[in-house]
Amino acid sequence: MNTLRILVVNSDSGEAERLAGRLTDARHTALRASGLQEASEALLVQKFDAVLLDAALPSDSVADFTAKLRKLERSQRAATPAPVLSLSSRVPNGADWCTGERGVDAYLADSFQPAGLFEAVTSLAAAIARSGDQPVDASSGPIFEVEQFRAQLSNDDDLMEEIIDLFLSEAPGQIIEMREALAALDFQLLARVAHTIKGSFATFHAGPARSHAQQLETAAKECDATQCGQALAALESDLEGLEPQLLELRKPL
């Protein structure tokens, strides 16, 4: 993808024209939409590499728009998702973009450079695609597959008890270590611990928790503190639900 096809959503015709001109000058293709409804209609009939929003759009409407876009991409089995970006003054000085929130995949500086825009779109599209490959909705399946876990251990109760006890003794410390790593922005350590606990969840066939651990590991490798925080919170919730079930599974002492 040498050039980008971008949907510019802005009700101010003058501002939309200015943005479209900047994109065209950088040899990208820009199509304008006056609002989210018109943008949604355009996305039904055309493929875009990214959507660039007016910063003044309501956050709730943007979140709903992005959720519908992701649903559409799944139904169309789109190979590459279209990141949703918004112009914002929140971008640190000297940077072209930073991670967004509430349906916005990234904030884009008004003074963005073409190379920075290209980097943002390609990086975000890859991250969204990876996230879509491994759903993180904890309601999508059981906390863990008991029978698969038993079968993996050949129904050896002693070994099962040993593995459960080891996990329950290590997991709280791993959660604390990940919290501290995130607070210190030590993404390398955070990714390493997330990878370790992901392996433990795989042993238990705990699908939702393993997906959250994968999401955390990926976000840490991308140094995305916001996504790391969200994934870690989900992971802690998973552990709270998994622990009593593992304790119940242990044979009585």
pLDDT, tens digit (0-9, with 9 covering 90-100), for 212-221:
898 899 989 9
- Mean of the per-residue pLDDT values of the chain: 84
Domains, the chain, in order of start with CATH, read: 5-133 (3.40.50.2300), 138-249 (1.20.120.160)
SS3 assignment, position 142:
coil
What would the mean pLDDT of 114-136 be, rounded to a whole number? Answer: 74
Angle between helices 225-249 and 157-183 (to 10 degrees): 160
How far is 105 from 198, CA to CA, in rounded Å?
25
Is the confidence at residue 252, as pLDDT, over 60?
no
**Distance between the two ends of the chain, CA-based, in angstroms?**
61
Instruction: Determine how many CB atoms are found less than 10 A away from the CB of residue 170.
Output: 13
- Give the pLDDT confidence of 5-52 residue by residue, as tens digits: 899 999 888 888 888 888 888 888 889 999 999 999 988 878 889 999
From residue 204, alpha-carbon distances to 55, 126, 163, 248 in Å are 44, 29, 9, 14
- At residue 107, φ and ψ (nearest 5 deg) are -95, 140
For residue 90, the model assigns a pLDDT of 83
Nearest Cα neighbor of 86 from 116, 114, 109, 65 is 109
For residue 94, the model assigns a pLDDT of 80
Residue 87 contacts by C-beta under 8 Å, 6 or more apart in sequence?
19, 52, 53, 54, 55, 107, 108, 109, 110
Residue 47 contacts by C-beta under 8 Å, 6 or more apart in sequence?
5, 78, 82
Is the confidence at residue 242, as pLDDT, over 80?
yes
For residue 1, the model assigns a pLDDT of 43
Is the confidence at residue 114, as pLDDT, over 80?
no
This prediction's pTM: 0.52
- Give the pLDDT confidence of 81-103 residue by residue, as tens digits: 899 999 888 888 888 888 888 88
For residue 52, the model assigns a pLDDT of 93
Nearest Cα neighbor of 228 from 177, 194, 199 is 194
